[in-house]
Structure 1
Amino acid sequence: MFTGIIEEVGKVQSVRKGKDSAAVSIGAKTIWEGLRSGDSIAVNGVCLTVTSFSQSGFTADVMHETLNRSSLGSLCAGSAVNLERAMPANGRFGGHIVSGHIDGMGTIAAITKDDNAVWYTVKTGPRVLRYIIEKGSVAVDGISLTVAKVHNDGFSVSVIPHTAAQTILSEKRVGDIVNLENDCIAKYVERLLGSQPPKTAITAEFLAKYGF
C-alpha cells in the first residue's frame, strides 16, 4: 500500500521489451535505502516488484496486463518517473490509500497558472469519472491530489509549487497521458451496496431515517 506522497523522481536507464512484457531499469539516488528484492515500489503510480537493486537504482518486470492498463509502455531511456516505496507500518499517512493498481488513463487537457498554484485539467472516461467527486482524492501518476472541480469529461486539480517541483508534474504538457487511480473506498462501497439483498439494501431513505 502507498500514500501518494512521492519520495523521489527517478530516471529510466533502460527498457528491455519482450513480446508482451518488459523489464525496466530505473536510476535513483535514495529510494534504494532499506530496499530488498521482492519489495514494492510505485512507478508513476503503478505497483512494481523489485527484482534487483543497487546504490544506483533498481530493476522491475512489467507484465502484459500492466502495459495494457497504464502508460508504462511508453517509457524509454531518460524518462522521468515518480517513485514511492510501500508505506511502512509505522509510517505517516500523508496522502490517501493508494494501492498502485491503475483504474485507467487520462489526458492532460489544460495547464493553467493561478498565482502560486497550477491547475491541471485531465480528461478521462466514465469508468474513472464515476468515482471522482469534488474534494475527493485521486492519484495522478501516483501523486495523491485533491479534486478541485469535476467536469462532464474529466476533472481538475490545483497543485502547489512544492508538489509540482518534487514530482514529474512540472514536466507534463498538454496532451500527455497520465495514470489514474480512484479512491479505493468508493469502489468497495459500490461493490458492497450492489451485493446487498433487495430486502436489506441500504437506500437514501434508510440513511435519512437514521440520521445520515
Structure 2
Amino acid sequence: MFTGIVDNIGIVASFKESFLEVSVTGFVHDIKKGDSVAINGVCLTVVDIKKDQFSVEVVPETKRRTNLTKLMKGDFINLEKSVQAGGRLGGHFVQGHVDDIGIIKHIVKDGEADIVKIEVDESIGQYIVLKGYVAVDGVSLTVVESTRTLFAFTLIPYTRDHTILGKRKAGDSVNIETDILGKYVKQFVE
C-alpha cells in the first residue's frame, strides 16, 4: 500500500520487453528484491537492484491497464516506496492498482496553481467525487470538479515542482486510481 506522496523522481534507464530499469539517487539504499514500489502509481515488484538503479517486471495486465508502455529511456517517473507499519500517511490509501488511463484535456492557471482537467471513462468516473481522493500518476489529489467523464484537481506549486505532473501537458495520458472506499460502498449497496 502507498499514500500518494511521491518520494523521488526517477529516470527510465531502459525498458526492454517486460523489464523496466530505473535510475534514481538515494532511493535504493533501503529496498530489497521482492519489495513493492509504485512507479507512476503502479505497484510493481523489485526484481533486481544495483547502485542507484533498480528493475521491475511489467506483466501484460499492467501493460494493458496503464500508460507504462509509453515510457522511453530518459523519461521522468514518480517513485514511492510502500508504506511501513507505523509510517506516516500523508495522502490517502493508494493500492497501486491502476483502474485505467485518463487523458489531460486542459491545464489552466489559477493564481500560482494550475487546474488540471482529465477525461476518463464513465466506468471509473462514477467513483470520482467532488472533494474526494484520486491518484493521478501515483499522486494523491483532491477532486475540485467532477462529472461522469471529466474531473479536475488543483496542482499546487510544490506538487508541480516535486512530481512529474508539472511536466504533463494537454493530450498526455495519466494513470488513474480511484478511491477504494467508493468501490467498496458501491459493491455493498448493489
Structure 2 distance, partners of 1:186, 1:124, is 16
Structure 1 residue identity aligned to 2:25: K
- 2:143 maps to which of 142, 147, 155: 147
How far apart, in 1, do the equivalents of 2:26 and 2:118 lie? 30
Structure-to-structure mapping, 1:39-188, within 5 angstroms = 39-188=35-184
What secondary structure, in the 3-state scheme, does the structure 2 residue paired with 1:33 have? helix
Q: Could you tell me which amino acid in structure 2 is paired with residue 160 of structure 1?
A: I
| Corresponding residue number in structure 1 for 2:16 | 16
Q: Which runs of 5+ in 2 are unaligned?
A: none
Aligned residue pairs total 190
Provide the rounded CA distance (Å) in 2 between the counterparts of 1:99 and 1:55: 27
SS in 2 for 1:134: coil
Kept in 1: contact 2:116–2:155 (CA 8 A) = yes
Q: Are the equivalent residues in 1 in contact too, given 2:126–2:148 (CA < 8 A)?
A: no
Q: CA RMSD in A?
A: 0.8
1:37 lines up with 2:52 in the alignment? no
**CA–CA distance in structure 1, aligned partners of residues 90 and 148 of structure 2:** 29
Counterpart CA distance in 2 for 1:40 and 1:152 is: 32
Give unpaired runs (5+ residues) of structure 1. Answer: 195-212
Is 1:192 paired with 2:188?
yes
Q: What is the percentage of aligned positions where both structures have the same residue?
A: 39
Q: Deviations over 1:144-194 (max 9, x none)?
A: 000001135210001110001000011101100000000001111111222
Q: Which of structure 1's runs of 4+ aligned residues deviate more than 3 A?
A: none
**1: CA distance, partners of 2:184 / 2:152:** 24
Higher Cα Rg: structure 1 or 2? 1
